[in-house]
């Protein structure tokens, strides 16, 4: 059974959840499991309840949409093996992954470099 109040969901979201739930029940999924999956799907698609009120911390639908698109772009880039481009992301990489990137760019002396040195060398190499 899904947790929490559904008071913050719009009528459209509730209809969508009901429709999804019926589809799962037709496939033989138990009532509780179908309801849980339906609400999980609605949350995944819209990011939760969209009615006004409450904590005031909810994002508008347009921001949710752009966040999902950006997340999808990053996922595609990750699957395609694109390296991270921003300087800040290099700070979060391991020394091993920085060395691999340095090897790909043929940076001399990379094996004896510390993390900060690798980051600087990669920054200079472009």
In the predicted structure, residue 80 carries a pLDDT above the cut 90: no
88 domain residue, yes or no: yes
Higher-pLDDT residue of 1, 71: 71
pLDDT band at residue 7 under the 50/70/90 scheme: confident
Backbone dihedral angles phi then psi of residue 54, each to the nearest 5 degrees: 85, -145
Question: CB atoms < 10 A from the CB of 105, how many?
Answer: 14
- Report the number of distinct structural domains present in the chain: 2
**Which positions ≥6 away from 1 have C-beta within 8 Å?**
32, 35, 36
Arithmetic mean of pLDDT, 26-37:
91
Tell me the average pLDDT of the chain: 82
User: Which structural domain, as residue segments, surrounds residue 35?
Assistant: 8-48
Look up the pTM and report it.
Answer: 0.40
């Amino acid at each position: 059974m899904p947790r929490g109040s559904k008071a913050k969901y719009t009528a459209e979201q509730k209809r969508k959840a009901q429709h999804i739930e019926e589809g799962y029940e037709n496939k033989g999924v138990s009532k509780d499991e179908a309801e849980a999956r339906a609400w999980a799907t609605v949350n995944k698609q819209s990011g939760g309840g969209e009615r006004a009120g409450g904590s005031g911390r909810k994002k508008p639908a347009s921001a949710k949409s752009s966040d999902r698109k950006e997340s999808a772009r990053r996922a595609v880039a990750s699957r395609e093996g694109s390296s991270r481009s921003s300087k800040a992301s290099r700070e979060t990489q391991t020394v091993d992954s920085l060395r691999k990137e340095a090897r790909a760019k043929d940076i001399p002396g990379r094996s004896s470099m510390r993390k900060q040195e690798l980051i600087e060398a990669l920054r200079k190499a472009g």
